[in-house]
C-alpha cells in the first residue's frame, strides 16, 4: 500500500470525508456496487488508515492506496494522491509513505552525494557552485570571460540561470565546448575537477533530444526545472542513459509549498520526489535569503535528501541570497552534505567576479577548518 497523510480543517465528520476520498480516488463508488462486483474490486479499493484531531482547528487522516492502482511515475502518483483533491478546498498532503515494491521502479540519481564526492574529490566540505547571471542576450565572448573568472575564483561547479532561454548569441553546443576546454585546462593546471550545467529547456521530447546531443558534445551536467516540465522528466533522462549530474531547480513550486492549508509539504515535493526521480542536486529556498523558507521546513527537505533509502543520498542546495557572511550559519544548520550555491554575491563583488568567487570559496574552507 501507498499511504498518504493529509491535514484539513477539523470537523466531527472527518471520518466520512476520509472514507469518501479513499473510495473516490480509487474505485469511484462502493455502496451501490453489486456484492459480487465489490468482491472483485476490493483489491483496488482505498482504505482509511487513521483519523485524528491535531488541534482545535486541524485534523489529520491517512489513506492507503493499493500499489497496483498507480503506475510507477511521479505524475501517476500525484494524480491519485493529490490530483483532484488539490481542488477540494483546504487540504494539504503532509506525508507520503512509498513501499519498496513501488520505489523499485524508479532510477534515483545517477551519482548522488556519494558519487559526486568520489568523482570530484571533495570530501570534507560542502561543494561550491556559481550561478551565471545576466545571460539572456550575452555573446559567447562574454560567456567565456565570465566562465574564466568563476573558475579562477575556485568554485567547483558553474550553472546557468534557470531563466536563460535566449542563447542565440552564445548557442548551447558552443558554450559546452568553451566550458569543456576551460575546465580541462584548470584540471591540468590545478588538479581541481568541475562541471558546467547548461539550462535544458523545451518540451519533454525536446529536452531529451537536447540532452543526448549535448552529452555527445561533451556536456557533463545539466540544470532542469522539473516542476514546470513535470518531475517525470528526471526519470526519462535517467532511462535515456544520461548519467551526468542533474540539478533540479525549484521554479514554480512556491504556491504549492507555501505554509498554508493547501498544497504539498516541501519535504515531499522538494525532498522525497526529486531524489526518487533521479536528481543528483536539489535546490530549494534557504531559511536566510530573499526567498526564505521556514528553517524547520528547509531542514526537513534536507533530511529527505540524506535519510536512508534504496537510492543514493543527494546534495542539498539551500539557495537564494547566499553570501559569504551566511556560510557559517549555513554549514552549522545543514552540515557538509550541501552545495553552497551563489550568484549575485559572486558577480556583485566590488572587485569583480573572480574576487567574489574566491571570497566564497575561501570562506567555505575557513569555516570548515574552524569547525
What stretch of H or E contains 158?
Answer: strand 157-159
> Could you read off the pLDDT tens digit of each residue along the chain, which spans 371 residues?
999 999 999 999 999 999 989 988 987 755 565 455 556 667 788 999 999 999 999 999 999 999 999 999 999 999 999 999 999 999 999 999 999 999 999 999 999 999 999 999 999 999 999 999 877 778 999 999 999 999 999 999 999 999 888 888 999 999 999 999 999 999 999 999 999 999 999 999 999 999 999 999 999 999 999 999 999 999 999 999 999 999 999 999 998 999 889 999 999 999 999 999 999 999 999 998 777 789 999 999 999 999 999 999 999 999 998 999 999 999 999 999 999 999 888 998 989 999 999 999 999 999 998 65
Distance in angstroms (rounded) separating the CA atoms of residues 33 and 321: 57
Considering the domain architecture, whether residues 97 and 121 belong to the same structural domain is answered as no
Compute, in degrees rounded to 10, the torsion defined by CA atoms 51, 53, 57, 62. -30
| DSSP code per residue over 237-256 | HHHTT--S-EEEP-TT-HHH
Considering the domain architecture, whether residues 83 and 139 belong to the same structural domain is answered as no
Considering the domain architecture, whether residues 54 and 153 belong to the same structural domain is answered as no
Q: Which three cell numbers stand for residue 180?
A: 569543456
Domain boundary among 79, 103, 127: 103
How much is the pLDDT for 281? 98
In total, how many domains does the chain have?
A: 2
Helix axes of 172-190 and 140-152: crossing angle, nearest 10 degrees: 30
Q: Which three cell numbers stand for residue 79?
A: 494524480
Domain boundary among 103, 133, 157: 103
Domain that holds residue 221: 112-370
Considering the domain architecture, whether residues 256 and 314 belong to the same structural domain is answered as yes
Considering the domain architecture, whether residues 117 and 95 belong to the same structural domain is answered as no
Distance in angstroms (rounded) separating the CA atoms of residues 62 and 205: 36
Considering the domain architecture, whether residues 273 and 308 belong to the same structural domain is answered as yes
| DSSP code per residue over 66-84 | -GGGS-SSHHHHHIIIIIG
Domain boundary among 103, 125, 160: 103
Considering the domain architecture, whether residues 86 and 123 belong to the same structural domain is answered as no
Considering the domain architecture, whether residues 165 and 59 belong to the same structural domain is answered as no
| Cross-strand pairs, 159 | 131, 197
Considering the domain architecture, whether residues 318 and 228 belong to the same structural domain is answered as yes
Distance in angstroms (rounded) separating the CA atoms of residues 8 and 261: 7
Q: Which positions are annotated as active-site residues?
A: 84
Q: Which three cell numbers stand for residue 167?
A: 542563447
Distance in angstroms (rounded) separating the CA atoms of residues 334 and 316: 9
Amino acid at each position: 500500500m501507498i499511504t498518504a497523510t493529509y491535514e484539513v480543517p477539523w470537523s466531527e465528520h472527518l471520518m466520512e470525508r476520509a472514507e469518501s476520498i479513499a473510495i473516490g480516488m480509487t474505485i469511484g463508488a462502493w455502496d451501490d456496487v453489486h456484492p459480487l462486483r465489490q468482491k472483485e474490486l476490493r483489491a483496488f479499493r482505498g482504505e482509511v488508515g487513521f483519523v485524528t484531531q491535531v488541534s482545535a482547528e486541524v485534523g489529520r487522516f491517512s489513506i492507503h492506496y493499493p500499489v497496483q492502482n498507480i503506475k510507477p511515475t511521479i505524475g501517476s502518483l500525484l494524480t491519485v494522491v493529490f490530483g483532484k483533491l488539490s481542488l477540494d478546498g483546504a487540504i494539504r498532503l503532509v506525508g507520503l509513505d512509498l513501499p519498496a515494491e513501488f520505489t523499485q521502479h524508479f532510477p534515483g540519481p545517477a551519482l548522488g552525494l556519494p558519487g559526486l564526492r568520489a568523482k570530484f574529490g571533495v570530501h570534507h566540505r560542502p561543494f561550491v557552485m556559481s550561478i551565471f547571471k545576466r545571460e539572456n542576450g550575452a555573446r559567447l565572448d562574454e560567456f567565456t570571460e565570465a566562465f574564466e573568472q568563476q573558475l579562477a575564483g575556485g568554485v567547483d561547479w558553474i550553472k546557468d540561470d534557470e531563466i536563460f532561454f535566449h542563447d542565440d548569441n552564445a548557442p548551447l553546443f558552443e558554450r559546452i565546448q568553451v566550458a569543456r576546454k576551460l575546465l580541462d585546462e584548470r584540471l591540468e593546471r590545478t588538479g581541481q575537477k568541475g562541471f558546467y550545467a547548461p539550462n535544458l529547456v523545451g518540451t519533454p521530447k525536446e529536452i531529451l533530444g537536447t540532452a543526448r546531443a549535448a552529452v555527445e558534445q561533451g556536456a557533463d551536467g545539466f540544470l532542469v526545472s522539473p516542476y514546470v516540465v513535470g518531475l517525470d522528466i528526471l526519470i526519462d533522462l535517467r532511462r535515456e542513459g544520461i548519467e551526468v549530474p542533474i540539478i533540479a531547480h525549484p521554479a514554480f513550486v512556491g504556491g504549492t509549498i507555501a505554509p498554508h492549508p493547501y498544497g504539498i509539504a516541501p519535504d515531499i515535493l522538494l525532498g522525497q520526489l526529486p531524489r526518487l526521480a533521479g536528481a543528483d542536486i536539489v535546490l530549494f529556498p534557504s531559511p536566510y535569503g530573499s526567498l526564505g523558507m521556514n528553517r524547520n521546513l528547509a531542514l526537513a527537505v534536507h533530511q529527505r535528501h540524506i535519510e536512508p533509502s534504496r537510492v543514493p543520498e543527494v546534495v542539498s542546495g539551500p539557495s537564494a541570497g547566499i553570501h559569504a557572511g551566511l556560510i557559517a550559519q549555513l554549514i552549522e544548520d545543514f552540515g557538509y552534505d550541501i552545495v553552497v550555491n551563489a550568484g549575485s554575491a559572486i558577480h556583485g563583488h566590488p572587485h569583480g567576479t573572480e574576487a567574489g568567487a574566491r571570497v566564497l570559496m575561501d570562506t567555505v574552507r575557513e569555516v570548515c577548518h574552524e569547525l
